[in-house]
Amino acid sequence: MTYQVLARKWRPRTFSDLVGQEHVVQALVNGLDQDRVHHAFLLAGTRGVGKTTIARILAKCLNCETGVSSTPCGECGSCIDLDEGRFIDMLEIDAASKTGIDDTREMLEGVQYTPSRGRYKVYIIDEVHMLSRHSFNALLKTLEEPPPHVKFVLATTDPQKLPVTILSRCLRFNLTRLLPAQISGHLEKILRAESIEAEAPAVLRIARAADGSMRDGLSLLDQAIAFGGGRLKDAEVAVMLGSIDHVHVAAIIDALIESDASALLDIVSDLSLQSRNLASVLDELAAAMHRIALIQAAPDFRDAERADWDSLAERADKITPEDVQLYYQIAITGGRDLTIAPDPRTGLEMTLLRMLAFRPVGTEPGSAPGVAPATQKTPPAPAEPSAPKQAAVPAGAGAETAAAPASQAATTDWSSLQSSLKLSGAAREFARNLQLESAHHDRWKFLVPDTLQHLGSRSVVQSLQTALSDRLGHAVMLDLHTASEPLQSVAAAAAAAEVNRISEAERAISEDPTVKQIREKFGAKIVPDSIQPLQ
C-alpha cells in the first residue's frame, strides 16, 4: 500500500477537528446552522494555517446529503467524495498557474449551470491574488450577481494585492499563525495514534521550527520520523533541523556577560563545524533575552513549557536589564540583516561583536568602567587662582605624589598629565574633554560633559585607563560621571584661548593705522570671522 504523508492523512474533516482559528470556525458554524451563508468568502493567512482545509469542510457542510449544517455526517456519498477530492461540484483552482483571462473565463462558464450532484457548486480559488487584472474584472461580475447555487471561497497569502472591489464583495477572515503549543499538542495526538515513541522536547522543537504552520509541522514530523528510524529523539531532531541547543545559547550569554569575544568566536566556529543553522542562533538568543527580561520584571512568573527557565534565571542576576534590551534588539536586527551579509557566519559574528561594542560600559561586575549618570548635574566650582599647578607625574611615582596635587582638580594639572599619556584618536580627544575632580591611589574621578558622553565607549575608556596606569606605574580605576557644561577641561581651556587669540587679532587689525586709512578713504569694511591670528 502506498504511504500517505501525515499532512494528508490527518487533514481535518470537520470543524471540530481544526486546530486553532476559533474566530473563523465560530462565524462559519453559526452561519451554517442559521442558514445565513454568504456567497463569497476570503480566507487570508500564511501557509499551512488551514485555508484550503476550511474551504473543503465548508463545501462538505453545504453538500452533505443529510442537510446543510455545521456537522456533516462524513458517511454519505457526497461526504466521502469530498474527503477524497473527487466531488464533481467542488472545483479547486490554483490561481498561481492559471492567471490568464482565458483560464478565468473557462472557469466561470460553468457557473450558470446547476450542480450535477450536490446542492451547491463550490469554487475554491487558491492564491487568488495571482490572478491578472482582466481575470479580476471577469470574476468581479460573477461576485456581484452570483447564481443562488454557487459559493466562492478565495484563499490568499497576500490579501493586499487583491482589488478593493473584490474585497468588498467577500466575507473576509484572517487566519492567524498557530502557536507552538497548538502545533505540538496536535503532533503528540498524531504520534500516539501512530504508536510512535517520541521525546517531548523533540516534539516541541519541531513545533517551533514549523513557524506557525501546521502543514510545515506535519512535514517536519514525517522527516523526523524517517531520520530517527521510527522514533523521535531531541538530539537527533536538533541535528536534522540544524538548530542549536540551550547549552549553546547559555554559553553565548555567559561570554557576553564576561565580555569574552574569543569565546563568542569559538562558539560560532563550533556551530559552523556542526553544520548548525546559524540564522537560528540569533532567534534563540533573542528568545532567551525575552525570557530573561520576564524573569527580571516578574520574578514570580514562570513558563512551565520552558525547560531552560532555571538556567536563565541564574543568569538574570548577572546581566543588567539595559543589556538585556540591547542584546534583544541587536539580535532581532542582526537576524534581519543576515540575508545581506557576505555569509551567515560573518553576519552572526559581527552581530555578536556588535553586542560587545555597543554595550554600556561599567554596568556589570568586572567590566571596564564607563560614564555613569551623575546623581546631580551641578557644575564644579572654579579652581582657585592661587592653586599650585601640578607637574607631570613621572612613571613609577608613588600614589601620594600623584594624588595630593590632583585632588585640587585644577584644569592645568590634568592638562600637564594628559599631554604625557600615550593616547591617540578618540581616546586622546576624550581625555582632553575630561575634568579631573579627585585622584587617589587607585581611583581617579573625572567629570564628562553630558553633550560628549557618547565619546566614552568601552574601548576608549579602556585605552585611557591603560595609558594612565602605565604612566603612573600602578593600576588605576576610572570613575566617570556626567556633568553639565561648562567644565574646566583641556579642550575647553584651549577653545577659550583660541577665542582670546582671535579677539586680540581682530582688535589689532581694527586699530591698525593703515587699516583705518583704507576704511576712511575707500569705505572698506572688515569681513566678520575672516581674521585669523598668526601661528
Q: What is the DSSP string of 423-456?
A: --HHHHHHHHT-EEEEE-SSEEEEEEEGGGGGG-
* Pick among 3.40.50.740, 2.60.40.3880, 3.30.300.150, 3.40.50.970: CATH of 398-488: 3.30.300.150
Position 58, amino acid: L
CB 72 within 8 A of CB 14: yes
CATH superfamily placement of domain 6-174: P-loop containing nucleotide triphosphate hydrolases (3.40.50.300)
What is the per-residue pLDDT across 151-210, written as a single tens digit (0 to 9) for each?
999 999 988 888 899 998 899 999 999 988 899 999 999 999 999 998 888 898 899 888
How far is the C-alpha of 464 from the C-alpha of 432, rounded, in Å? 11
Q: Do domains 6-174 and 398-488 have the same CATH topology?
A: no
The residue ranges of every structural domain in the chain are: 6-174, 180-241, 255-357, 398-488
Domain 180-241: assigned CATH number: 1.10.8.60
Three-state DSSP string of 324-360: HHHHHHHHHHHHHHHHHCCCHHHHHHHHHHHHHHCCC
C-alpha cell at 405: 596635587
pLDDT tens for each residue of 234-263: 888 888 888 777 888 889 999 998 888 999
User: Which of residues 506 and 57 earns the better pLDDT score?
Assistant: 57
Q: Dump strand ranges (E) for 9-120.
A: 40-44, 90-94
- The span from the CA of 254 to the CA of 421, in Å, is 34
Joined together, the cell numbers standing for residue 172 give: 473576509
C-alpha cell at 185: 499538542
Residue 30 has pLDDT above 60, yes or no: yes
Q: What distance in Å separates the CA atoms of residue 294 and residue 291, rounded to the nearest whole number?
A: 5
Q: Estimate to the nearest angstrom the gap between the alpha carbon of 149 and the chain centroid.
A: 49
DSSP state of 49: S
Q: Where are the alpha helices (DSSP H) in 210-343?
A: 214-227, 234-241, 246-257, 261-273, 278-297, 309-316, 321-337
Q: What is the spatial distance between Cα 323 and Cα 60, in angstroms, rounded to a whole number?
A: 55
Choose the weakest-confidence range: 136-150, 308-322, 496-510. Answer: 496-510
The CATH number of 255-357, from 3.10.110.10, 1.10.490.10, 3.40.50.12280, 1.20.272.10, is 1.20.272.10
Q: Are 330 and 336 in contact (CB under 8 A)?
A: no
Give 332-371 pLDDT, tens digit per residue. 999 888 889 899 999 999 999 999 888 765 544 444 444 4
Please name which of 26, 43, 14, 12 lies closest in space to residue 175, comparing C-alpha atoms.
Answer: 43
pLDDT at position 485, please? 67
DSSP 8-state code for residue 102: H
Q: What pLDDT is recorded for position 361? A: 55
Rounded Cα distance, 339 and 406, in Å:
53
Mean pLDDT for 399-409 is 38
The whole-model pTM stands at 0.60
pLDDT exceeds 60 at position 38: yes
